[in-house]
Amino acid sequence: MATNFDRPLILGIETSCDDTACAVIDGTGRVLSSAVSSQNVAHRPFGGVVPEIASREHLSNWPSVSAQALEEAALQMYDIDAVATTRGPGLVGCLLVGLSIGRSIAFALDRPFHGVHHLEGHLYSPFLSAQGEPSEDIPEQFMGLVVSGGHTSLLDVDGGKVTSLIETRDDAMGEVFDKVGKRMGLSFPQGPKVDQLAEQGQVLKTLFKVPPIKDAEPFFSFSGLKSQSLREIEKLEREGALEPGTPVDALPPAALNLLASFRDAAVRQIIDRLRRVHDRRRIDTLAVSGGVAANRLLRRRLVRWAEEAGVNLRLVPLKFSGDNAAMIAFAALMRQRRGIVDDPLDTVVASRIPFD
């Protein structure tokens, strides 16, 4: 058994989409282990996540993922003090696998159980240490920007109470990276590849604009940028500047410039909205999380803006930006500290759950 830890030890389980994840954290928020098994190979032939395949993959991946998490933490399952699983939002079949496993462990060991909102997991993840240190102290009041394949949300957190300030009116930022990348012929998952290719392109400033805010309330919107980018790809093909089916490593400069301009416009929108909110009510601490928080340009621009604006920026460590179970266990630790536990029999999963 590991010796360097504090109670309670929390086992996290995350199966909301296509990653099977299990992690153990301790009472100081130290990540003792975080195992993630990607299903990329299974979904690649289809260009995106196939829900039925994802559920079955979770079932077959679980034994090795959980064994890895326990082994890395040098613990046995009966050492665990509490169990946490994601209850949604996500793919219902996938969530059910995680919930069934989590509640079985909680019952078998007679331990407290937590059903965690996926967004709550991402929200606190910037305070986790990737070096195995205890988590940072979470300020009473901070703002959270969650940018992923399913969410683009700016949230105000005050004493554990979460209020949404800005949401996307249509597509999430990561979703649009995936769709534009797919149209460009990139394989799943496309977001990181678009980011990588965009590093090699030149930004054509005139190509894409940030959607203007006409009324007082800011919003995110990425579907216009997506449609326009898809049209631009079509135009390149029509003009013969891009051959459909061109391999990634042979994409012409025009295609790389398009991807660079697309990424730049998406990131500019995020910074524009942050500026607007900061002008109205000062942001002291901004915690940025979610799969898209791995985006190189977004990270660079956020660092620059935060420096200029005097904002304390907490960027999620790359290890915890994509879906993982350490963030689910950590959100459960926050809940446990506030005296909240769930009844495993009352916990249900849902593809959409409001977060408040």
* Minimum CB distance to ligand KG4 smaller for 233 or for 294: 294
Selection from Zn ion, ligand KG4, none that 274 binds (CB < 5 to 8 A by kind) is: none
Alpha helices, H only, the chain: 40-43, 51-73, 92-109, 118-124, 173-183, 190-198, 223-238, 253-280, 296-309, 326-337
The least CB distance from residue 2 to Zn ion, in Å, is 28
Site string for ligand KG4, 15-54 (x = CB under 6 A): --x-------------------------------------
Distances (CA, A) of 287 to 102, 153, 157, 187: 28, 12, 10, 30
DSSP letters of 97-152? HHHHHHHHHHHHHT--EEEEEHHHHHHHGGGS-TTSPPPPPPPSEEEEEEESSS-E
The correct pick among 171, 178, 232, 264 for binding ligand KG4 (CB under 6 A) is 178
CA-based nearest residue to 114, from 82, 71, 139, 159:
82
Identity of residue 323: D
The least CB distance from residue 226 to ligand KG4, in Å, is 12
Q: Which two tokens stand for residue 106?
A: 């909680």
Alpha carbon distance, N-terminus to C-terminus of the chain: 38
* Minimum CB distance to ligand KG4 smaller for 2 or for 210: 210
Selection from ligand KG4, Zn ion, none that 20 binds (CB < 5 to 8 A by kind) is: none
The least CB distance from residue 152 to ligand KG4, in Å, is 10
Distances (CA, A) of 314 to 156, 161, 302: 15, 19, 10
Selection from ligand KG4, Zn ion, none that 120 binds (CB < 5 to 8 A by kind) is: none
Query: Which range binds ligand KG4 by CB under 6 A, 47-55, 154-162, 267-275, 287-295?
Result: 287-295
Residue 89, preceding peptide bond in cis (omega within 30° of 0): yes
The least CB distance from residue 212 to ligand KG4, in Å, is 24
The least CB distance from residue 237 to ligand KG4, in Å, is 23
The least CB distance from residue 146 to ligand KG4, in Å, is 8
The least CB distance from residue 14 to ligand KG4, in Å, is 10
The least CB distance from residue 36 to Zn ion, in Å, is 12
Q: Are 348 and 87 in contact (CB under 8 A)?
A: yes
Site string for ligand KG4, 109-148 (x = CB under 6 A): ---------------------------------------x
Count CB-CB contacts under 10 A for residue 205: 11
Residues 97 and 59: their CA atoms lie apart, in Å, by: 7
Chain residues binding Zn ion by CB under 5 A are 148, 323
* Minimum CB distance to Zn ion smaller for 172 or for 194: 172
Selection from ligand KG4, Zn ion, none that 178 binds (CB < 5 to 8 A by kind) is: ligand KG4
Residues 343 and 319: their CA atoms lie apart, in Å, by: 31
- Give the phi and the psi of residue 121 in degrees, each rounded to 5: -60, -55
Residues 17 and 149: their CA atoms lie apart, in Å, by: 10
* Minimum CB distance to ligand KG4 smaller for 9 or for 49: 49
* Minimum CB distance to Zn ion smaller for 174 or for 344: 174
Residues 151 and 157: their CA atoms lie apart, in Å, by: 17
Contacts of ligand KG4 in 179-218 (CB under 6 A): 189-192, 195
The correct pick among 291, 313, 316, 331 for binding ligand KG4 (CB under 6 A) is 291
The site for ligand KG4, by CB under 6 A, has a size of 20
Report the interface residues with ligand KG4, using CB under 6 A: 17, 148-150, 174-175, 177-178, 189-192, 195, 290-292, 294-295, 322-323
